[in-house]
Amino acid sequence: MATVAPIARARTANPITFTAANGGGDTFANSGRELLLVRHTNGVGSAVTLTVATTETVDGLAVADLAVVIDPGETQVLGPFPKAIYDNSSGNVALSWSSATDIEVAVIAGE
């Protein structure tokens, strides 16, 4: 897994730098206020499913992981991710991809 460094928020111009998704998955540090941007750079390829792992249980039952389909050419914004539901033991959110080909990610830091 690769760790995606968050981009600081700013009131001035603040370009978004995307990072190629890692085939083995990605993580990012979570304060509960981050936003995740996912961009599918191929306009004609196959859809990719992003799975965001959950760690929460309710009445002894695991909360289902969040699965989001990213269609070719789309950019999606997800979040924030409540810590009690999404944080792993390291305080990170874990992401996995059905395919990391043509997928780029960026994390906008919480304030």
Run means of pLDDT, 10 residues per run, the chain, 111 residues: 89 91 97 97 94 95 97 97 96 98 95 74
Residue spans per domain, the chain: 2-6+19-108
d(CA 88, CA 75): 25
Per DSSP, the three-state class of 66 is: strand
* Helix residue ranges, H only, 38-106: 83-86
**CA neighbours within 13 Å on the CB side: how many for 7?**
17
Q: Does domain 2-6+19-108 have CATH number 2.60.40?
A: no
Interior CA angle at 52 toward 4 and 18, to 5°?
Answer: 30
Distance from the Cα of residue 69 to its chain's centroid: 12
